[in-house]
A and B are shown apart, each in its own frame.
Chain A
């Protein structure tokens, strides 16, 4: 007669499944926390109450740009420049990061290609306290007119604040005489982008 030894005692679960419990528990906690964080609940009991009437308004982003003062009145000689000032006011309700970029360029009365004229000019931008402070040689951001782009966030304009800028157009000191008499019309677009809270 063969005797079979009965199996007795508790067996350990396979070791490879032991990690599932804490992970599952973590998932449950995560879901619960996410639900709480999202501000929503799924209570079975609901109650309602009314608050006093109120108005919710969305913010606004508004820039007011004053006209750029005339820069054509001083004709450019080699190495000389002309300046013009303008102001920007943030009349919206959010602070704005400012970017300035030439968006249109037109060359007239030139005996050479437009690029030959534009490659002899440099457009500079400098912040000034007031328009009267705008003068040649202030420095600041500078680039050829066709490449003028301060990039986003050149500076931040708080709500209700104004800033005055000074543009200076410089003709290269070694500009050839072939560009004399040319007229360059330019437009700088000023973009204010809401600064992320």
Chain B
């Protein structure tokens, strides 16, 4: 063992004895307390009101209606409203022919027939209305003023059951959908049929086709029963003989004949083009027909 090693051994031993013999020591004391609470994940919900008041029957003389619709964020976290207009039932043609403009207003009282269209407006038809979008705090609501206007050439005597479907969204979350419904009706302001007498043997019906395309099919109806043959817009007229009308009107007298647009399968649509009276009578002991009463 060298002197250096011995010295190291001696120092280590001194340290061990001095350190081990010391009475210096400490205890580790502890104390505890708690802090408790809870965190709630939010939920999304939506509510819509006021749509029923949009139900109306519009005519060319009174084509517009303006009503407020209230969209509510019924959830407990912020949400952005999103709407879609859906033709639930009835005439899609009427929905397509009804212009719609909507804009946000502070309150329902700020939405009247005389109210000018405000900022933030969206427009389209009931068949293609852009979303009514508002960012809402929890439990808050937005009022949209909706003006529905029957466009020129809209089908008469038609009905459409519309739904405005509402959801609220936040990031990737979407609330359950809710909807408010109403009816869009077009009045019976149907154009008068053109009618030409042919000596009691038959009559010839004509009508204004408006903007309808030439391939559109038309049919004449009495009390819902088709009379005569269907014709395309290219031809533009329907002839009726007494025997063609009798299945729908067996007794002599005046009846109303209505010309409607037919669908691809030949069935009548809600698109009423024109109507007018015709009369079945007896002439030379035989059945005859004429225009008017």
Contacts and interface: CB of A to CB of B under 8 A. Distances in A.
Contacts of B9: 23, 26
A68 interface: yes
A94 interface: yes
A68 B31 contact: no
Give the most central of A62, A65, A70, A177: most B CB within 10 Å: A177
A189 B30 contact: no
Interface string A98-113: 0000011000000000
Contact of A33 (B14, B76, B172): B14
Give the most central of B14, B16, B26: most A CB within 10 Å: B14
A140 interface: no
Interface residues of A, number: 71
B13 A26 contact: yes
B18 interface: yes
Interface residues of B, number: 41
A103 B174 CA distance: 34
A68 B37 contact: yes
A183 B34 contact: no
B18 A30 contact: yes
Interface stretch (B40-48, B122-130, B245-253): B40-48
Given A38-B22, A72-B38, A77-B78, A33 B17 contact: yes
Given A33-B14, A189-B34, A75 B26 contact: no
Interface stretch (A1-9, A45-53, A131-139, A167-175): A167-175
B36 interface: yes
Given A176-B172, A181-B43, A65 B10 contact: no
A197 B28 CA distance: 10
Given A174-B172, A193-B28, A19 B40 contact: no
B143 to A, nearest CB: 24
A186 to B, nearest CB: 7
B30 A183 contact: no
Contacts of B32: 63, 189-192
Given A177-B174, A194-B30, A31 B40 contact: no
A14 interface: no
Interface in B1-32: 1, 6, 9-10, 13-14, 16-18, 20-23, 26-32
A126 interface: no
A100 to B, nearest CB: 8
B35 A68 contact: yes
A34 B44 CA distance: 76
A193 B77 CA distance: 41
A33 B20 CA distance: 11
Contacts of B30: 61, 191-194
Given A60-B29, A176-B172, A23 B21 contact: no
Given A190-B34, A191-B30, A75 B42 contact: yes
Interface of A: 19, 22-23, 26-27, 29-31, 33-35, 37-39, 59-65, 67-72, 75-80, 82, 84, 86, 88, 92, 94, 96, 103-104, 117, 121, 165, 167, 169, 171, 173-177, 179-194, 196-197
7 contacts: A30-B10, A34-B17, A88-B33, A117-B41, A167-B37, A175-B41, A179-B41
Which 6 pairs between the two chains have the least Cβ-Cβ distance?
A: A65-B33, A75-B42, A26-B10, A78-B171, A34-B17, A61-B29
Given A26-B10, A33-B14, 17 more contacts: A22-B10, A26-B6, A31-B17, A65-B34, A72-B39, A72-B40, A75-B41, A75-B42, A80-B77, A82-B39, A182-B40, A183-B39, A186-B38, A188-B34, A190-B32, A191-B31, A194-B28
